[in-house]
């Protein structure tokens, strides 16, 4: 039997409780330029921000600009990120993306979602993070935490795609709360109600961090 979805007001109440737990929520990836933000988010797929943060200082020093990354041998890029999951495919995507940035965009990061999503290895979640963090453009990036929490609380259907989760959350909140709520949901899923959490999800809304 399918669980009934929350009404808009009920769903907003859940989101605001999560936001209240993490009112100062922000991204945990470390970056020093929009280019390195893009690289860090690409590297973060199916791995932790902590793992990415361990390699980014050396990576950023080795490849300060898209030109440096585009010119680098693929083996050198792999060596820099070898502790990251899927490092070989990520290295290919990073190099290919850097080449496109140099050739088509004068080494600048596009400030447009559809354009960002044409870059190798850049999906909707990555594009949204870059827009929100790098450009201050309201966006909700749906990672595994955001998707899982939205489904656990029946804000969306269990079979909802990341895009459907994104659109549902956007419809519930004013634009100026999108980025903060997205970060709060990630921290809530990471530290308060992780995937292994048991029992009534509502009990975690009253948890101490």
Q: What is the DSSP string of 180-200?
A: HHHHHHHHIIIIIS-TT--S-
User: Is the same domain home to 18 and 46?
Assistant: no
Counted domains in the chain: 2
Instruction: Report in angstroms the alpha-carbon separations of 100 from 36, 71, 75, 190.
Output: 15, 12, 19, 34
Residues 6+ apart with CB under 8 A from 155: 5, 6, 11, 14, 15, 149, 168, 169, 172
Residue 125 known to be catalytic: yes
pLDDT at 199: 87
User: Is the same domain home to 79 and 143?
Assistant: no
User: Is the same domain home to 117 and 173?
Assistant: no
User: Is the same domain home to 126 and 46?
Assistant: yes
Residue 155 in tokens: 């804000």
| 2 within domain boundaries | no
CATH number reported for the structural domain that contains residue 59 in this entry: 1.10.340.30
User: Is the same domain home to 154 and 196?
Assistant: yes
| 177 within domain boundaries | yes
Catalytic residue among 90, 95, 125, 180: 125
| 3 within domain boundaries | no
Residues 6+ apart with CB under 8 A from 3: 154, 158
User: Is the same domain home to 177 and 98?
Assistant: no
Catalytic residue among 143, 151, 159, 167: 143
Residue 17 known to be catalytic: no
| 194 within domain boundaries | yes
pLDDT at 150: 98
Q: Tell me, what DSSP letter sits at residue 44?
A: T
pLDDT at 12: 97
User: Is the same domain home to 156 and 195?
Assistant: yes
SS3 state at 178: helix
pLDDT at 1: 43
Last residue of a domain, one of 135, 159, 174: 135
pTM of the full structure: 0.91
| 1 within domain boundaries | no
| 66 within domain boundaries | yes
User: Is the same domain home to 41 and 122?
Assistant: yes
Instruction: Report the helix count and the strand count for the chain, using DSSP H and E.
Output: 12, 0
Distance, in Å, from the CA atom of 175 to the CA atom of 17, rounded to the nearest integer, reads 18
CATH number reported for the structural domain that contains residue 200 in this entry: 1.10.1670.10
Question: What tens-digit pLDDT sequence spans the chain (209 residues)?
Answer: 457 999 999 999 999 999 999 999 999 999 999 999 999 999 998 899 999 999 999 999 999 999 999 999 999 999 999 999 999 999 999 999 999 999 999 999 999 999 999 999 999 999 999 999 999 999 999 999 999 999 999 999 999 999 999 999 999 999 999 999 999 999 999 999 999 988 899 999 986 65
Q: Could you list the residue range(s) of the whole structural domain that residue 196 is in?
A: 8-26+139-206
Instruction: Report in angstroms the alpha-carbon separations of 21 from 89, 178, 186.
Output: 37, 16, 12
Last residue of a domain, one of 72, 105, 135: 135
* Contact assessment for residue 155 and residue 10, using Cβ atoms and an 8 Å cutoff: no
Last residue of a domain, one of 86, 120, 135: 135
């Amino acid at each position: 039997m399918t669980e009934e979805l929350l009404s808009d007001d009920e769903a907003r109440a859940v989101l605001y409780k999560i936001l209240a737990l993490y009112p100062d929520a922000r991204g945990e990836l470390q970056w020093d330029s929009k280019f390195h933000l893009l690289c860090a988010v690409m590297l973060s797929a199916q791995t932790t921000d902590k793992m990415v943060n361990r390699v980014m200082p050396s990576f950023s020093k080795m490849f300060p600009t898209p030109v440096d990354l585009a010119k680098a041998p693929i083996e050198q890029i792999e060596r820099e990120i070898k502790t990251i999951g899927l490092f070989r495919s990520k290295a290919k995507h990073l190099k290919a993306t850097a080449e496109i940035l140099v050739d088509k965009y004068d080494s600048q990061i596009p400030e447009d979602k559809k354009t960002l999503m044409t870059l190798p290895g850049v999906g909707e979640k990555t594009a949204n993070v870059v827009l929100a963090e790098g450009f201050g453009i309201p966006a909700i990036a749906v990672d595994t935490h955001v998707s899982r929490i939205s489904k656990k609380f029946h804000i969306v259907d269990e079979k909802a795609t990341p895009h459907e989760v994104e659109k549902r959350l956007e419809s519930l909140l004013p634009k100026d709360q999108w980025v903060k709520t997205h970060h709060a949901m990630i921290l809530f899923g990471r530290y308060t109600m992780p995937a292994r959490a048991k029992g009534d999800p509502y009990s975690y809304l009253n948890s101490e961090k």
